[in-house]
Structure 1
């Protein structure tokens, strides 16, 4: 979650907390008021229930006298139970102020129940006069219950008068509290909105000012925003961009000056190289001289000497080619064979060469002087140090999408760190190479030529063997010899 989002969530949570507190407060006071109202109303209803229940009993007694039946008798018992239930509810309303009156009230209810029971007994025994007397007594007690209920309710009204006043005062206080809370919330929202908008707009204005200065070419003023959010990160990035642009501007200026100086030095260097070439032997003159000596040796009957001179001349002519040109694999194989003839003449039986070449592979393009330095590396490090010499295998195999060239020797092998240095193009040792081209140089030129790194693998076990595997893609031969077609 971003810092700006956290600010928005913080403001929202604060507002939600305030609204929740207000809602809880209002709910609490409202429930408290409702409970007080309900308590008072319940007291009135319980007292009034005694009056209603007693009058219902009188009505049931009257119905029973007019129509004596078991159903009417059961109705009287049901009404009596309601009176007793109402009596228990009234008993729970006892307090210090109504203790005496409520005790008399309960005794009056008991007397009413007793008079009702006596009426039922006398009436069942057909004592008409006694039952009529008890009915009159029950009716009189019911009237007294009604009057006393009104007296108790009136006393309750006087007792709870201060409670009513408290409820009214509480309602006024809640109204005032609501007004103050609304004003407080409005003020807090204004403050928080100003703080939140200020925390965003101020750094944005600073960035706008800095961008305006940069558009005028002023790169010296630092862009600084004192916040702890994404805008501060943007400001730091903007300031780094300002520094980089300023550096680039200075470097471009210095580069232009260096290029001017380099151009002047290049002119002087070309003049120096021209004078140096004048003092050296022309390599073409040396090549022509070797051809002359080869023909003279042939005429004199020295066939091996003639062949050796031809191979040396061919190798020299091949080395005179420009290093940035590409040749066919066939040309590389011819030069490789000439080089091996020279080495076999020098090492005799100590060198054993084994070649397995697929003729269908020899028309692909390859950088010049690729195979000869690899073979020469094997001769120098695998054959020459051993008194009995060794074997070198050269295999050129055709595949579906690539051609594989394997150069293997049974020499001393290479250590893992040396292989890593070669593959990282950091191995600079070129001592003893006739062309001056080392192993790492070959790796680098192959990768540049084909455009990817996975062009060579090296397998080696110390004191056993070393195998170099070139994986060359099959590229269409072009008319010019400068570069392969990668399309």
Structure 2
């Protein structure tokens, strides 16, 4: 259990102990008072029971004398036993103040029972007059019992009057004591809670202030927390984090400066390469020349030659302008069709091409000149060396979070060593492409572009061909691309 939990449990324990103590004290006092009330009430009920039973006995005796049935006699005997029991309970009420009255009360009960018995005896002997006289005597004694009961109750009230007043006074004092005790406990709890909350909130406020300063970029303020709980450990950890962030920012700034310098050098190198390429050949002159040749061939009726020149011009234009930019898969497939038109014109029936394109997958983003070097590799190594030529399959499929591009040939296959060299990005001497971009260069550019390794794979079996798989993530999908142009 940590320190803050211990503090909280201590506060809860103190509150519960105080509440339990108050509850026990009030329960004990209430139980004691209730017991005294019950005792007095029982005294009153015992006296009243004698009066009630004696009156009922007079009624049942009269019923029996008028109608001497077994049921009336049984009820009379039952009440006779009840008055005997009530008499034995009244004896327990004797004290110094009512001793004489209780003794007379006992005698009255005995006289009542004897008068009842004599009335029954005379009635059984057939002496109705004597039985009636004894009945009247029992009735008179029952009245005396009622009067004597009232006298004893009056004595009881006078005896316990002081007790009642004491209870009222105690209740008032207890109420006043409870109010003062409640105020005292509330004050102590508020004081204890305030100190307890300060021990937690004050360090937290320091941490919040330090975090606010940290968010403003100020890493020189140390957090000091003088406590012996988890917040002190948190403050130490916060200080270590502040130092680490400061060091990390310094390192990032240094790396950013180095990367900026490297990027500037890279841009200068690219510009120099581009100028070198442009100095070798003027692209606009070449494009204009190819367009002129294409139109001339078309006018002369050589439509195939015209289409071939258009494909060459489009391919050259794409290779020169798109090398340093990202493009869509649609652009790559379009220029790939132009490239294959050129190769089929060159290889005629020796080259067979099958394309299965899912049009919904053509708007993912990838580096320029990705597919053409792979196709060139298949043409150079799988189609040209074969006397009967070969077949190339190009498939574009939707693969959940990725677009799968398969380029497969039925050539002689590729050794495992060369597959390893190509996938590891090593330079392969036998590579030669019209674009100047080798297969290994495509592998590096793809992994750099997507920031992950698992974007390209090669499957090959000796004598059964080679399959190159591109797994293009959809995360870099071009948004708001617009309507696609005519794909024919």
TM-score if structure 2 supplies the norm length?
Answer: 0.56
CA–CA distance in structure 2, aligned partners of residues 184 and 416 of structure 1: 88
CA–CA distance in structure 2, aligned partners of residues 257 and 390 of structure 1: 55
Cα deviation, residue 59, structure 1: 7.1
Secondary structure of 2:51 counterpart: helix
Rate the CA distance shift 1:421–1:130 in 2: closer, same or farther, 3 A.
farther
Contact 2:421 2:428 in 1 (8 A): no
Q: Does 1:248 align with 2:249?
A: yes
The residue that corresponds to 1:203 in the other structure is 203
Q: Which runs of 5+ in 1 are unaligned?
A: 289-312, 345-351, 474-482
Tell me whether 119-128 or 39-48 shows the greater mean CA deviation.
Answer: 119-128
Within-5 A mapping of 1:399-418: 406-412=407-413
Cα deviation, residue 45, structure 1: 1.6
The residue that corresponds to 2:352 in the other structure is 354
CA–CA distance in structure 1, aligned partners of residues 124 and 179 of structure 2: 71
Contact 1:459 1:466 in 2 (8 A): yes
Cα deviation, residue 20, structure 1: 6.1
CA–CA distance in structure 1, aligned partners of residues 443 and 266 of structure 2: 29
The residue that corresponds to 2:290 in the other structure is none
Cα deviation, residue 234, structure 1: 10
Contact 1:414 1:460 in 2 (8 A): no
CA–CA distance in structure 1, aligned partners of residues 160 and 217 of structure 2: 85
CA–CA distance in structure 2, aligned partners of residues 31 and 145 of structure 1: 34
Cα deviation, residue 206, structure 1: 1.3
Contact 1:397 1:405 in 2 (8 A): yes
Within-5 A mapping of 1:79-158: 81-82=78-79, 84-92=81-89, 109=109, 112-123=112-123, 127=127, 130-131=130-131, 134-135=134-135, 138=138, 142=142
Cα deviation, residue 456, structure 1: 7.0
Q: Which runs of 5+ in 2 are unaligned?
A: 287-311, 483-488
Rate the CA distance shift 1:171–1:111 in 2: closer, same or farther, 3 A.
same
The counterpart of 1:395, out of the listed 393, 396, 399, is 393
Cα deviation, residue 237, structure 1: 7.2
Secondary structure of 2:220 counterpart: coil
Secondary structure of 1:189 counterpart: helix
Q: How many residues are matched?
A: 422
The residue that corresponds to 1:309 in the other structure is none
Question: Alpha-carbon deviations, 1:251-298, whole Å to 9, x = none?
Answer: 4477458857986x789x77x979x97xx9x8659xx9xxxxxxxxxx
The residue that corresponds to 2:300 in the other structure is none
CA–CA distance in structure 1, aligned partners of residues 437 and 126 of structure 2: 146
Cα deviation, residue 222, structure 1: 2.8
CA–CA distance in structure 2, aligned partners of residues 12 and 356 of structure 1: 79
Cα deviation, residue 46, structure 1: 0.9
Cα deviation, residue 180, structure 1: 6.2
CA–CA distance in structure 2, aligned partners of residues 52 and 434 of structure 1: 129
Cα deviation, residue 50, structure 1: 1.0
Secondary structure of 1:198 counterpart: helix
Rate the CA distance shift 1:377–1:141 in 2: closer, same or farther, 3 A.
same
The residue that corresponds to 1:42 in the other structure is 42
Contact 2:383 2:389 in 1 (8 A): yes
Within-5 A mapping of 1:333-352: none
Secondary structure of 2:467 counterpart: strand
CA–CA distance in structure 2, aligned partners of residues 390 and 185 of structure 1: 104
CA–CA distance in structure 1, aligned partners of residues 48 and 479 of structure 2: 113
Cα deviation, residue 194, structure 1: 0.3
Cα deviation, residue 170, structure 1: 7.1
Q: Does 1:194 align with 2:189?
A: no
Secondary structure of 2:320 counterpart: coil
The residue that corresponds to 1:486 in the other structure is 481
Rate the CA distance shift 1:23–1:208 in 2: closer, same or farther, 3 A.
same
Contact 2:60 2:75 in 1 (8 A): no
Q: Does 1:222 align with 2:219?
A: no
TM-score if structure 1 supplies the norm length?
Answer: 0.56
CA–CA distance in structure 1, aligned partners of residues 263 and 43 of structure 2: 111
Rate the CA distance shift 1:284–1:131 in 2: closer, same or farther, 3 A.
closer
Rate the CA distance shift 1:79–1:376 in 2: closer, same or farther, 3 A.
same
Give RMSD over aligned pairs. Answer: 6.7
Rate the CA distance shift 1:266–1:335 in 2: closer, same or farther, 3 A.
closer
Tell me whether 159-168 or 20-29 shows the greater mean CA deviation.
Answer: 159-168
Cα deviation, residue 394, structure 1: 1.7
Cα deviation, residue 38, structure 1: 1.2
The residue that corresponds to 2:295 in the other structure is none
